[in-house]
Amino acid sequence: MPARRRRPSKATPRAPDRLPRNSAPVPLTIEHVGGRGDGVATAKVQLADQWAPRDELFFVPFTLAGEQVLARPRQRRGGGVATDLLELSAPTIGRQTPPCAHFMACGGCQTQHMAPALYRAWKSTQLAQHLARADLAAAPLRPLVTVAPGGRRRLVMHARRLAAGLVLGFHEHGAARIVDVTACPVATDRLQATLVPLRRFLFDILPSGTSARLWLTDCDNGVDLLIECAQTLDRAGREAAAELATGGTLLRLSWRHPEDGPNLAAETVIETRAPVVTFAGIPQTPPPGGFLQATQEGQAAIIAAVFEALAGRTNTLDLFAGCGTLTLPLAAEGPVHAVEGDGPALAALSRAARRRAPGAAALTTACRDLQTDPLTASELAAYDSVVVDPPRAGARAQTAEIAAAGPPRVALVSCNPATFARDARLLLATGYRCAWVQPIDQFLWSPHLELVAAFHLGAPR
Ligand SMILES: C[S@@+](CC[C@H](N)C(=O)[O-])C[C@H]1O[C@@H](n2cnc3c(N)ncnc32)[C@H](O)[C@@H]1O
């Protein structure tokens, strides 16, 4: 008789790095807080996927150095084991009451349990470790510029229409589930006030089972919203969108299908007034969902640091220029060439450039993929000052060309100290000196950190 074929199990297979849900809890003492904001502890234990006890590294969220905890192993991650915090037996004095009711469920923030002084020290320590890895341990590290709660002007949120309601919020820590969020203390008041009417609108227009991703931007004159959704917006949906905008909640609502990709212009469903952000007094309309620095305070600190790093410049190159956050202020004082890969952002910058007063310094732009097609050393020879502000992946190929060209002043702006450290080494290897590093904490209560670093070639200034 032929062997009976086993029917495939209907249960979702467990990811190979996930540990069984019923893994035994492990008592741990937290040794320090790591780069992702988790407490780190070591212990010799036998986990469910092992035959014998061995030394393991554990990551325990929402804990501080010195705390004793009970944690359930959840998943193998980066040479250690991510856990869920079950019990906190001995809290330390560095702990504060988290300001947000959604903390620990919502994946948006990781460190609201840290008191401010401890939080600032943790961020500075993380950066110092990255700098040491880049042979930048001796570079003057300036005090952290902090940003107050309520300053975040861009939110990327997720929504899912259920049969009985709507979930609008952020993903849960380490999971795909959306945590319903009614308030977000990092965000501006205007973004928070948008959530109630937005929730009602999404409930009305999305069919049950539909998901959407939302980019909310608090501009100078109101809120700009981009929705990415596989569903097309029908007539009733368009009428509801018009009502939402004319009611004063939004300036503009744009709609895009997930398969359209970021470079295809989103459809403007309704625009009551053009969204405006102002750089160096020049009004600018960013494309729907386009990049802006996360906070106004952080942006001001970045601009000030870039100006200082490039002091004495005569001809400036702005690489990864976005829609002109740095370009327009720099161009108020001298010629600038701005290069950016995102077509709609660059088009917005070019439009703003045409609005400048007659006789203003030259401002030219080019659309180019700087990761695959960086400006070459010979193209860079025309500039005495370069600012590089790449995405989190950094700008390895472009920095190598800058190092080869040797402009006297380079300002590296980064939202990822790890890729910054990698790229900075390329400059140091060709004789650049790091004059200072300015950390700017514009991603409050997250492990992310913004920084500007000044690199100079030649005699110290
Ligand atoms: C951190 S943002 C900085 C933008 C701008 N400097 C600012 O302060 O608003 C990084 C910018 O790099 C752009 N970018 C990402 N990948 C790129 C690539 N491969 N080539 C060129 N630009 C790219 C993004 O579109 C974004 O505008």
Ligand 1 pocket, Cβ-based, cut-off 6 angstroms: 291, 293, 320-322, 325-326, 340-342, 345, 369-371, 389-391, 415
Q: State the CATH number of the domain containing residue 61.
A: 2.40.50.140
Could you tell me if 435 and 325 lie in one domain? Answer: yes
Residue 174 lies in domain? 154-275
How is residue 374 written in tokens?
């960086």
Could you tell me if 158 and 46 lie in one domain? Answer: no
Task: Clarify whether 415 is annotated catalytic.
Answer: yes
Residue pLDDT, tens place only, 363-403: 999 999 999 999 999 999 999 999 999 999 999 999 999 99
Residue 101 resides in a domain: no
CB contact set of 437 (below 8 Å; sequence gap of 6+) = 127, 131, 136, 139, 140, 141, 142, 451, 452, 453
Mean pLDDT on 179-194: 96
Could you tell me if 49 and 82 lie in one domain? Answer: yes
The CA-based angle 41-69-23, given to 5 degrees, is 80
User: For all residues of the chain together, what is the average pLDDT?
Assistant: 93
Residue 308 vs residues 402, 414, 456: alpha-carbon distances, Å: 19, 16, 12
Question: Total structural domains in the chain?
Answer: 3
Pocket test for ligand 1, best of 320, 388, 401 (most atoms within 8 A of CB): 320
Could you tell me if 315 and 235 lie in one domain? Answer: no
Centroid of ligand 1 to alpha carbon of 389 (angstroms): 7
The CA-based angle 99-196-187, given to 5 degrees, is 40
Residue 174 resides in a domain: yes
Q: How far apart (Å, rounded) are the C-alpha atoms in residues 139 and 454?
A: 10
Residue 85 resides in a domain: yes
* Banded pLDDT at 438 (limits 50, 70, 90): very high
- Confirm if 266 and 289 have CB atoms less than 8 A apart: yes
Residue 356 scores a pLDDT above 90: no
Residue 319 scores a pLDDT above 50: yes
pLDDT score recorded for residue 263:
61
Q: State the CATH number of the domain containing residue 305.
A: 3.40.50.150
Centroid of ligand 1 to alpha carbon of 291 (angstroms): 8
CB contact set of 317 (below 8 Å; sequence gap of 6+) = 336, 337, 339, 375, 380, 382, 383, 385, 386, 387, 407
Could you tell me if 307 and 388 lie in one domain? Answer: yes
Q: Atom 27 in ligand 1: which residue has the minimum CA distance?
A: 322
417-429 and 396-405 helices, crossing angle to 10°: 20
Q: State the CATH number of the domain containing residue 235.
A: 2.40.50.1070
Provide the pairing of β-strand 154-161 with 166-171: antiparallel
Residue 187 scores a pLDDT above 50: yes
Could you tell me if 270 and 226 lie in one domain? Answer: yes
Q: How far apart (Å, rounded) are the C-alpha atoms in residues 453 and 105?
A: 35
- Single out the residue in 240, 275, 310 at which a domain terminates: 275
Q: Which atom of ligand 1 is nearest to the CA of 291?
A: 27
Pocket test for ligand 1, best of 291, 336, 337, 448 (most atoms within 8 A of CB): 291
Radius of gyration (Cα) for the chain, nearest Å? 25
Torsion angle, alpha carbons of 387, 314, 435, 116, to 10: -50
Could you tell me if 215 and 198 lie in one domain? Answer: yes
Residue 174 scores a pLDDT above 80: no
Q: Which of 100, 184, 219, 415 is catalytic?
A: 415
Residue 318 resides in a domain: yes
Centroid of ligand 1 to alpha carbon of 348 (angstroms): 14
Question: What percent of the chain is modeled with pLDDT above 90?
Answer: 84
Residue 259 is given by DSSP the state G
pLDDT score recorded for residue 340:
97
Could you tell me if 135 and 160 lie in one domain? Answer: no
Question: What percent of the chain is modeled with pLDDT above 70?
Answer: 95
Residue 4 scores a pLDDT above 80: no
Could you tell me if 158 and 268 lie in one domain? Answer: yes
Could you tell me if 64 and 137 lie in one domain? Answer: no
Could you tell me if 356 and 405 lie in one domain? Answer: yes
* Banded pLDDT at 260 (limits 50, 70, 90): confident
- Confirm if 93 and 66 have CB atoms less than 8 A apart: no
* Banded pLDDT at 262 (limits 50, 70, 90): low
Mean pLDDT on 109-138: 93
Could you tell me if 355 and 444 lie in one domain? Answer: yes
pLDDT score recorded for residue 225:
97
Region of 261 on the Ramachandran plot (φ > 0 left; ψ -120 to 50 alpha; else beta): left
Residue 54 resides in a domain: yes
Q: How far apart (Å, rounded) are the C-alpha atoms in residues 100 and 104?
A: 9
Centroid of ligand 1 to alpha carbon of 182 (angstroms): 31
